[in-house]
């Protein structure tokens, strides 16, 4: 896979990245420093200070607390790639963080503050739960991002020393431990490190972790038998860890959703790098299972709060959806690798669904408060009073005891430029529409495109070839699966999209010259989406979507009892640009029916009663990602038809 990064220069994602730069990153630095009043304490930086001998005290936080700082540092690294006024302070913080991380590293390269400070006796002894390799993976991702952006060699040096330490410890050769991590992450990170350094050892180590996983006898079971310590979490089910069978035999996405996606991402990476068709076939199965049978319309995955796990096929309850922000991110990155592997637009279709909905729903419009869980239906009183629903929050949260999501969303949005194009076989695939520029080399020649759009609010997208010299290349523009009737002009003349289509992309192979322009028009009417009828929770209901954006009803606009709202099959839906609302959105409105809660029956259960009389009323839909940015209230994505 060729590393390719566009710069985001305008539009929706530029505003988003500036929010990350100006609000989110500074806020999270304070959170990691325990400086946010009223928020759960992170202790993440303090743990490093203690490990580095610069502070005294006890380790605090989850066993994987280091990863929060690493993800923050990765986000900072991505942001530092562009010139921006806010970068000076971010650079200073990043340097402080790197200095501290380096100081905490042990002489042998080992680096994990939990096992340095709190439990040195069990270093590498609790792979199932200890998260050392998981944290190492996030360190590596941070190191690669910072190195790519700033050329800062110090964090890359720390990273490589730890990677080498791991390489010396794990593997199949005599004297090495044949273990792997309970939480996959190091595998995909090692592939990234390989791609940066072109050091084959890192790819081999990643492949070792993939191939070793799930072999009999189970490493985790043997480890547990030998354990002289109490379990940290106590989850023994091997499916949770995708470790019951060798990963090539996996038939469906199951267990902990983030783990499953990070594993799948690495599997696709290795399939791509090593042309491993068996592994690629397993990736196909995992993708189909996750994205075609176990995904919410928002791109959220992992329906089960218990174990943060996948449920059964079409088992997608809306009000108890877990749909962790990190899991949608995991699906997004898995999709990006599948797009590279298969050059089919179906993957970017899902990436886009996750990105505009179930990922950015995890960040409030203030850039400083979060959702870990992303439900599709909420009734606040039920969340308050039902212990089984208490994991569903309807108010944005300042931080978490387990704060994996906030820095994860920061780093993924900061790195968005890495996901918008991919290269394959002389073809430049335009996967995600955005306003920005991309440059790369193809066959020794410089390629450069400037893309302009107000996507997702508008379906007009233009591509202008911006390199000096002409280049022979195939520009493949994704035609989203939600779109009917896409049209294109090439240098002002109609271009036949239908004839150019292959696996969901409109291919434009030609000798590109400076100033050549493609104008793409994606008609963007409001659509009613139906779920596969096997999806019980959505049966008889529709979701409203416009372009890639999924909508919802909020109580603030539509009153309570949203379960009783009806959007009749024939009613017209229109959209309006509302720059004043929720940071600037397109709303959808339509005539429907609402129930005001009057005319209740006289008892809880009435024989031969009548259904409540709903009255005609206007329904106002807002983008799902923007929910819970006003006063708390009900919310629903799916509406009765």
Binding mask 190-229 for a copy of itself (x = CB under 8 A): ----------------------------------------
User: Does the footprint of a copy of itself cover residue 543 (CB under 8 A)?
Assistant: yes
Using only C-alpha atoms, the chain has a radius of gyration, in whole angstroms, of 25
The tokens describing 106, both together, are 């042990």
Assigned token pair, 356: 């505009």
Helices (H), 275-324: 277-293
> In angstroms, rounded to a whole number, what is the distance separating the alpha carbons of residues 127 and 177?
11
Strand ordering across the sheet containing 6-10? 6-10, 435-442, 445-453, 460-465, 517-521, 487-490, 493-495
Q: Is 454 in the site for a copy of itself (CB under 8 A)?
A: no
Stretch that binds a copy of itself, among 54-62, 297-305, 402-410, 438-446 (CB under 8 A): 297-305
Judge whether 252 and 312 are in contact, CB under 8 Å. Answer: no
Based on the shown chain and the rule CB under 8 A, indicate whether residue 632 belongs to the binding site for a copy of itself. no
* Minimum CB distance to a copy of itself smaller for 167 or for 324: 324
Do residues 571 and 590 lie in contact, with contact meaning Cβ atoms separated by under 8 Å? Answer: yes
- Does residue 535 belong to the site contacting a copy of itself (CB under 8 A)? yes
For a copy of itself, the closer of residues 472 and 536 by Cβ is 536
Is position 561 an interface residue for a copy of itself (rule: CB under 8 A)?
yes
Judged by beta carbon, residue 145 or residue 378, the one nearer a copy of itself is 378
Verify binding: residue 305, a copy of itself, rule CB under 8 A: yes
x-or-dash string of contact with a copy of itself, 364-403, rule CB under 8 A: ---------------x-xx-xxxxxxx-------------
Q: Which of residues 404-423 bind a copy of itself (CB under 8 A)?
A: none
CB of 282 to a copy of itself, least distance (A): 19
Q: DSSP class of residue 117?
A: I
> Could you tell me which of 248, 173, 260 has the C-alpha nearest to residue 211?
248
User: Quick one: 292 or 511, whose CB is closer to a copy of itself?
Assistant: 292
Tokens of 176: 């090495």
- Which one of residues 120, 485, 509, 609 is an interface residue with a copy of itself (CB under 8 A)? 609
Tokens 């995708």 belong to residue? 242
Q: Would residue 308 show up in a list of annotated catalytic residues for this protein?
A: yes
Q: Which stretch binds a copy of itself (CB under 8 A): 302-310, 364-372, 452-460, 618-626?
A: 302-310
Do β-strands 493-495 and 487-490 pair in parallel, antiparallel, or remain unpaired?
Answer: antiparallel
| CB distance 565 to 590 below 8 Å | no
The catalytically annotated residue of 184, 308, 418, 634 is 308
Q: Which is nearer to a copy of itself, 238 or 582 (CB)?
A: 238
Stretch that binds a copy of itself, among 124-132, 310-318, 444-452, 488-496 (CB under 8 A): 310-318
> Is residue 309 within the footprint of a copy of itself (CB under 8 A)?
yes
How many chain residues interact with a copy of itself (CB under 8 A)? 67
Which residue from 211, 221, 319, 519 is in contact with a copy of itself, where contact means CB under 8 A? Answer: 319
Q: How far is the CB of 166 from a copy of itself (least distance, A)?
A: 31
Q: Between the CA of residue 97 and those of 68, 71, 154, 289, 564, what are the distances in Å?
A: 12, 12, 11, 39, 51
Q: Is the dihedral of CA 496, 499, 503, 504 positive or negative?
A: positive
Q: Interface residues for a copy of itself in 225-264 (CB under 8 A)?
A: 254
Q: With binding defined as CB under 8 A, does residue 601 bind a copy of itself?
A: yes
What element of type H or E holds 514? Answer: none
**Binding positions for a copy of itself, 132-171, rule CB under 8 A:** none
| Contact flag: residue 568 with a copy of itself (CB under 8 A) | no
User: What are φ and ψ of residue 543, in 5° steps?
Assistant: -110, 150
Cβ–Cβ under 8 Å, residues 90 and 73:
no
Q: Is 472 in the site for a copy of itself (CB under 8 A)?
A: no
Residue 595 binding a copy of itself, by CB under 8 A: yes
3-class secondary-structure state, position 399: coil
- The conformation of residue 83, written as its DSSP 8-state character, comes to -
Decide: is 354 part of the binding site for a copy of itself (CB under 8 A). Answer: no
Maximal CA-CA distance, the chain: 79
| Sole binder of a copy of itself in the list 248, 503, 507, 528 (CB under 8 A) | 528
Tell me the closest approach of the beta carbon of residue 517 to a copy of itself, in angstroms: 29
Counting contacts by CB under 8 A, is residue 633 touching a copy of itself? no
Backbone angles phi and psi of 84, in degrees to 5: -160, 145
Q: Is 574 in the site for a copy of itself (CB under 8 A)?
A: no
Which CB atom, from 237 or from 618, has the smaller least distance to a copy of itself?
237
Which distant-in-sequence residues (6+ apart) come within 8 Å of 198 by Cβ? none
Task: Print burial letters for 467-496: b (CB count within 10 Å at least 16), e (below 16).
Answer: beeebebbbbbbbbebbeebebebeeeebe
Is 473 or 588 the residue whose CB approaches a copy of itself more closely? 588
What are 447's two structure tokens?
């390629």
Catalytic member of 16, 404, 440, 483: 404
CA-to-CA dists, residue 50 to 25, 125, 289, angstroms: 23, 22, 44
Tell me how far apart the alpha carbons of residues 574 and 112 are, in angstroms, rounded to a whole number.
Answer: 54
Binding of a copy of itself by 600 (CB under 8 A)? yes
- To the query of whether residue 22 is one of the catalytic residues in this protein, the response is no
CA distance 390 to 591: 34
Give the closest residue to 219 by CA, choosing from 112, 111, 121, 125.
125
Return the residue of 304, 325, 369, 575 that touches a copy of itself, per CB under 8 A. 304
| Residue selected from 481, 487, 571, 589 as contacting a copy of itself according to rule CB under 8 A | 481
| Residues labelled as active-site residues | 308, 404
- Enumerate binding residues for a copy of itself (CB under 8 A): 254, 291-293, 295, 297, 303-307, 309-313, 315, 317, 319-320, 322, 379, 381-382, 384-390, 481-482, 484, 527-536, 539-540, 543, 545, 561, 563-564, 595, 597, 600-601, 603-612, 640-641
């Amino acid at each position: 896979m060729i590393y390719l990064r566009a710069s985001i220069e305008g539009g929706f994602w530029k505003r988003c990245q500036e929010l990350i730069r100006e609000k989110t990153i500074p806020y999270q630095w304070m959170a990691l420093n325990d400086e946010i009043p009223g928020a759960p304490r992170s202790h993440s930086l303090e743990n490093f200070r203690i490990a580095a001998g610069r502070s005294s005290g006890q380790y605090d936080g989850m066993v994987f607390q280091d990863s929060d700082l690493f993800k923050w540092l990765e986000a900072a690294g991505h942001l530092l790639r562009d010139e921006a006024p806010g970068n000076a302070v971010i650079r200073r913080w990043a340097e402080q963080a790197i200095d501290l991380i380096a100081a905490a590293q042990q002489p042998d390269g080992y680096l994990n503050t939990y096992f340095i400070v709190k439990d040195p006796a069990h270093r590498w002894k609790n792979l199932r739960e200890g998260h050392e390799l998981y944290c190492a993976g996030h360190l590596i991702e941070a190191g690669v991002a910072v190195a790519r952006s700033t050329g800062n060699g110090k964090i890359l040096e720390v990273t490589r020393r730890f990677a080498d330490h791991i390489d010396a410890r794990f593997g199949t050769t005599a004297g090495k431990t044949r273990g792997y991590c309970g939480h996959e992450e190091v595998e995909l990170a090692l592939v990234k490190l390989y791609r940066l350094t072109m050091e084959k050892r890192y790819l081999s180590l990643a492949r070792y972790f993939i191939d070793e996983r799930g072999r009999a006898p189970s490493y985790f079971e043997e480890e547990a038998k030998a354990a002289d310590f109490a379990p940290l979490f106590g989850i023994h089910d091997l499916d949770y860890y995708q470790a019951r069978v060798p990963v090539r035999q996996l038939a469906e996405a199951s267990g902990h959703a983030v783990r499953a996606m990070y594993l799948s991402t690495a599997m696709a990476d290795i399939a791509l790098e090593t042309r491993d068709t068996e592994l690629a076939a397993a990736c196909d199965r995992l993708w189909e299972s996750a994205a075609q049978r176990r995904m919410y319309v928002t791109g959220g995955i992992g329906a089960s709060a218990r174990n943060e796990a996948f449920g059964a096929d079409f088992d997608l309850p809306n009000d108890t959806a877990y749909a962790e922000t990190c899991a949608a991110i995991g699906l997004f990155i898995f999709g990006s690798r599948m797009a590279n592997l298969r050059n089919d637009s179906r993957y970017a279709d899902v990436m886009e669904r996750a990105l505009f909905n179930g990922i950015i729903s995890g960040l409030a419009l203030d850039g400083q408060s979060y959702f870990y869980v992303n439900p599709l239906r909420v009734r606040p009183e039920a969340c308050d009073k039902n212990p089984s629903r208490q994991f569903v929050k309807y108010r944005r949260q300042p931080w978490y005891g387990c704060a994996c999501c906030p820095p994860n969303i920061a780093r993924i949005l900061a790195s968005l430029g890495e996901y918008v194009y991919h290269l394959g076989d002389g073809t430049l695939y335009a996967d995600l529409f955005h306003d920005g520029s991309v440059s790369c080399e193809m066959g020794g020649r410089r390629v450069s495109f400037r893309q302009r759009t107000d996507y997702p609010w508008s379906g007009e997208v233009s591509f202008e070839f911006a390199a000096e010299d002409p280049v022979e290349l195939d520009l493949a523009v994704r035609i989203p699966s939600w779109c009917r009737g896409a049209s294109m002009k090439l240098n002002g003349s109609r271009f036949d999209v239908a004839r150019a289509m292959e696996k969901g992309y409109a291919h434009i192979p030609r000798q590109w010259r400076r100033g050549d322009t493609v104008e793409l028009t994606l008609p963007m009417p409001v659509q009613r989406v139906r779920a596969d009828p096997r999806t019980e929770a959505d049966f008889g209901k529709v979701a409203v979507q416009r372009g890639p954006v999924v909508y919802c009803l909020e109580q603030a606009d539509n009153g309570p009892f949203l379960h009783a709202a009806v959007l009749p099959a024939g009613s017209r839906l229109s959209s309006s640009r509302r720059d004043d609302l929720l940071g600037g959105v397109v709303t959808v409105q339509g005539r429907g029916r609402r129930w005001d809660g009057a005319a209740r029956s006289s008892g809880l259960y009435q024989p031969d009663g009548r259904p409540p009389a709903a009255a005609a009323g206007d329904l106002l839909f807002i983008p799902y990602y923007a929910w819970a940015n006003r006063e708390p209230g009900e919310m629903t994505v799916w509406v009765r038809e």
